[in-house]
Amino acid sequence: MSDERFDRLELEIANVRNRMQPDVARLREQTRPDAIKEKVRQALRERLRALGESLKAQLERQKEETVLAAGRQVELLQEAREKGDASKVQEAVKSDPRPMIVLAVALAVVLFVLRRLGRAL
């Protein structure tokens, strides 16, 4: 190979290195363990935020549905008391037991607290 051709190849290699240097530096920066950890943290934060928003929306829908079901059951209780027929209440509880479950849990909590207060006195 002639010296001229060799010099041209060396010059071309130097030019390629100069053009690639910013890319190599950026790649080196992006593959640092600290940079990778930060990217993972950011991705995790974003996923948790999205999950939290989704969960919040689901809980809000569940709350609205439970409140509506509880309202219907209260109306049926009043109607059953007036007519002396508990079958409608039984049907309502069978079709959507959530309000009764919430009531049972609330009652259990109240009884637990009252029992604890009774021991404390």
How would you write the pLDDT of the chain (121 residues) with one tens digit per residue?
A: 578 898 899 999 999 999 999 998 898 888 899 989 999 999 999 999 999 999 999 999 988 988 888 888 888 888 888 888 878 778 777 888 888 888 889 999 999 999 888 876 5
The pLDDT of residue 95 = 80
Q: Give 69's contacts (C-beta < 8 A, 6+ positions apart).
A: 92, 96, 98, 99
CA–CA dist 20, 32 (Å, integer): 18
The pLDDT of residue 48 = 95
Q: Which helix (H) or strand (E) holds 118?
A: helix 98-120
User: Could you state, in order of their start, the residue ranges of all structural domains in the chain?
Assistant: 53-120
pTM: 0.51
